[in-house]
Amino acid sequence: MVDWRLFEPLFEFARRKSLWIVAFCTGCGGIEMPPLMTSRYDLERFGMMPNPAPRMADLFLITGYVTPKTLKRIIITYELQPDPKYVMAHGSCPLNGGVYWDAYNAIKHLDKYIPVDVIIAGCMPRPEAVMDGINKIMEMIEKGTADGWKRYKENYEYYRKNQDELFGEGWREKEARRWIPWLMDRKKEE
């Protein structure tokens, strides 16, 4: 039996060099992703690329403010990702609300609901700032300090409690069935 933990530094090195991003524009920061991905800032030289499927992705970029309706999808997408997974929040809004500090429909502290590894401040952060954040998360991966996915497992009750407080119990099931009556071509009695 091989103890795979011996090879962990090698794995961390490999993970650092091939971060795939979930393609999920959750807010206005999404407009800076195409310049980052294309020829001017060219993130692909770091081995990063956007990927449509969360099952194959390592890095989740929360690009901008988060509304409760999006947060449900963010949590589901985050839980679909395989371990190890890293979250980078983009801009002031997921950090503390930003300009939406008194808005009735924007999440104020994202790290109450899912663990966040790196937060880039600014509205909106320049592509250079995003690249700096990515550099930071690569360093953290190599040192093994980007442990948000471990924290999510260890403190699952805490995160689950906050999520349920915001959305109400059983929101996942409710969300999955919400549109069926409207697709059925029948009235809502069903």
Partner 1 sequence: MMVSQSELVREARENGMDLLPLDKDTYELFFGPQHMATENFSIILKMDGHRVVKAIANPGFLHRGFEKLAEYRPWHTNIALLLRICVPEPDVPEAIYSMATEEILGWEIPERAQWIRTTVLEMARVSAYLFWIMGLSFKLGVYTAGQWAAAYRERLMALFEQLTGARVYHIYTIPGGVRRDIPNDRWLRQLKDTVEYIKGKLPDFDHLVFENYITFRRMEGIGVMDKKFALAEGVTGPNIRATGVPYDVRRADPYLLYPELDFEVPVLKDGDALARALVRRYELEQDLYILEQLVEMGPPGGPYKVEDPRLKNLPRFKVPAGDAFAHVESTKGDFGAYVVSDGKNKPYRVQIRGPSIAHGIRVLEQLLVGARIADVPVILMSLDNCPPDIDR
Partner 2 sequence: MREQAIVEKILKEAPYAEGKVRRERRVEFTVPAERIKDFLMTLKENSFELMLQITVVDWLKDGEYELVYQMWSITHRTHAMVRTRIPRELDKARMPTVRDIYPAAETYERDAHDFFGVYFEGNEKMEMPWILDDKEQGLFPHRKDFDMLGYVKRKYKILDRFDENKDNYVI
Half-sphere exposure in the Cβ direction for 62 (13 Å, CA): 33
- Should residue 109 be labelled a site residue for partner 2 when binding is judged by CB under 8 A? yes
Binding partner 1 by CB under 8 A: which of 15, 20, 28, 142?
A: 28
Binding partner 1 by CB under 8 A: which of 17, 55, 73, 161?
A: 73
Looking at the Cβ atoms of 62 and 140, the one nearer to partner 1 is 62
Distance (Å, rounded) from C-alpha 186 to C-alpha 74?
Answer: 31
Distance (Å, rounded) from C-alpha 60 to C-alpha 21?
Answer: 6
Q: Write the CB contacts of 156 (distance below 8 Å, at least 6 apart in sequence).
A: none
Give the DSSP H/E element, type plus range, for residue 37. helix 33-37
Looking at the Cβ atoms of 15 and 108, the one nearer to partner 2 is 108
The site for partner 1, by CB under 8 A, has a size of: 44
| Shortest Å, Cβ 106 to partner 1 | 5
C-alpha separations of 24 from 52, 66, 119, 149 in Å: 8, 12, 17, 19
- Should residue 4 be labelled a site residue for partner 2 when binding is judged by CB under 8 A? no
Distance (Å, rounded) from C-alpha 68 to C-alpha 167?
Answer: 8
- Should residue 182 be labelled a site residue for partner 1 when binding is judged by CB under 8 A? yes
123 and 91 Cβ atoms separated by less than 8 Å: yes
What is the pattern of x (binds partner 1, CB under 8 A) and - over residues 42-71?
--------x-x-x----------x-x-xx-
Chain positions contacting partner 1, by CB under 8 A? 22-28, 30-32, 34-35, 37-40, 50, 52, 54, 65, 67, 69-70, 73, 77, 99-100, 102-106, 123-124, 126, 173, 176-177, 179-180, 182-185
